[in-house]
């Protein structure tokens, strides 16, 4: 049978491990910046279009991406404008 000292030391180790895991969880839960994610997606797609990284068998993919980036750029601009207006009001 385990002695009370062994049980207490195990409980202490487990509590320390839980505290460490909670600290790591808090560090990993960074606030999500949706503008940054959208901007990164647009720039990645633009570079993909410029470098012509498309399969030769799917010739329309580049054309679809070019249209998509045009629309996303416009939407992104509108969202940034709305965000700046809302932040000026608040």
pTM: 0.57
Which residues have a Cβ under 8 Å from the Cβ of 22 and sit 6 or more positions away?
Answer: none
Domain assignments of the chain as residue spans, ordered by start: 1-30, 32-90
Position 1 scores a pLDDT of 59
Q: Which of 38, 53, 40, 51 is nearest to 83 (CA)?
A: 38
Position 2 scores a pLDDT of 63
Averaged pLDDT for residues 44-52? 86
Task: Return the structure tokens found at 19.
Answer: 């505290």
């Amino acid at each position: 049978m385990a002695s009370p000292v062994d049980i207490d030391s195990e409980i202490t180790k487990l509590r320390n491990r839980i505290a460490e895991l909670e600290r790591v969880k808090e560090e990993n839960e960074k606030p999500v910046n949706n503008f940054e994610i959208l901007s990164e997606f647009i720039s990645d797609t633009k570079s993909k279009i410029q470098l012509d990284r498309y399969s030769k068998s799917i010739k329309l993919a580049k054309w679809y991406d070019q249209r998509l980036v045009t629309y996303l750029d416009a939407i992104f601009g509108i969202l940034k404008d709305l965000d700046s207006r809302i932040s000026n009001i608040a």
